[in-house]
Amino acid sequence: MITYWKNQNGLVQIRQFEKDCWMNVVNPTPSEVSMLINKFKVPEEIVTDILDTDERSRLEVEGKWLLIIIRIPIHDPSSTSQPFYTVPLGVLLSSNFMMTLCAQESDVIRELTRYPYSQKINLNDKDDFIMHLFLRSATSYLKNLKQISITSNQIEKDLSKLAKNEVLHKVLGMEKCLVYFITSLKSNELLLAKIRSSRYPILNSVDEDDLEDVIIENKQAIEMANIYSDIQKSMMNAYSSIISNNLNVIMKRLTSITIVVAIPTLVASFFGMNLLNTMETSIYGFGIAILIASAITIGITILFRKLNWF
């Protein structure tokens, strides 16, 4: 899908391409990719790189284009195994217009085009647009990290009730999401450092205060992601110890029950041997064997209770 945007007292969507507009491309079809390559002369390898979900953040010049790729967060509530992940968002700048390209719809672009935030966007100032893009990306990371924290707390409550495999898989899924977030945020941090030191003509007027705000927000997101990741690891270690301890307790109880149940069989085996034991002809022999087995069983049970084995 391709949409076009222009400044008219804030961002407004227009029907077709115009000079100095912003072209937003989301999950392009093969025909749209062909149009980008043939009509707008975007190098095919750039389009391929941006649509590659594993592409890293970077800044480079390719012909007339200045390419910036950042990693942005995506939240997919329908996914139970990995509801949070990141994808590359490409920003292509030329002298007469700019383009964003992403394989999926994102909250970052939606927030940019949504009123009242859209009133802050000035497409004539490309540096300002890029800073807004980075700022919305960092804010989106923080928002998703808070959601991860809420989800993790709910998973922890579920684990405290019953440590089922599906609950443990959710914990591992959250930990994987945080790993993706941390990796992408650090990649964006390196990109911001490169922008600060870059000497590209299009980026030579980046406002230092705006850039500093973006760097601070990105660092805050990295710190939060690291904290939540440490909490996840600690929770997994704690519950691994709890599960191991519970298994030991169960095995101890089963062993104790096995010993207690084996005592009557042992006594009956002694009296069932083909040996003289003075009770072969006694009418009280069976009762005596039962009393002996019961007494030993009760004694062993009382002993195990005192040792807290039951």
Q: Is the peptide bond before 201 cis (omega within 30 degrees of 0)?
A: no
Q: What angle do CA 196, 198, 201 make, to 5 degrees?
A: 120
| Dihedral, 208, 102, 136, 149 alpha carbons, nearest 10 | -130
Q: State the Cα–Cα distance between residues 241 and 146, nearest whole angstrom.
A: 27
The answer to whether the CB of 200 falls within 8 A of the CB of 66 is yes
Q: What is the pLDDT of residue 201?
A: 57
Q: Is 86 exposed, middle or buried (CB count within 10 Å of its CB: 0-12, 13-18, 19+)?
A: buried
Q: What is the pLDDT of residue 88?
A: 92
Q: What is the pLDDT of residue 206?
A: 67
The secondary structure of 6-67 as a DSSP string is EESSSEEEESS--TT-EEEEES--HHHHHHHHHTS---HHHHHHHH-TTPPPEEEEETTEEE
Give the dihedral sign, CA 256/258/260/266: negative
Task: Give the global pTM.
Answer: 0.77
Q: Hey, how many other C-beta atoms are within 10 angstroms of the C-beta on 304?
A: 18
Q: What is the pLDDT of residue 70?
A: 92
State whether CATH 3.90.199.10 applies to domain 2-244.
Answer: no
Grouping H, G, I as helix, E, B as strand and the rest as coil, residue 93 is strand
Q: What is the pLDDT of residue 252?
A: 84
pLDDT averaged per 10 residues, the chain (length 310): 84 82 88 87 86 87 84 85 88 84 87 80 81 89 90 76 69 86 91 77 67 88 90 80 81 86 84 72 80 87 79
Q: What is the pLDDT of residue 203?
A: 59
Distance in Å from the first CA to the final CA of the chain: 66
The answer to whether the CB of 188 falls within 8 A of the CB of 141 is no
Q: What is the pLDDT of residue 283?
A: 78
| Dihedral, 208, 212, 215, 221 alpha carbons, nearest 10 | -150
Q: What is the pLDDT of residue 310?
A: 66
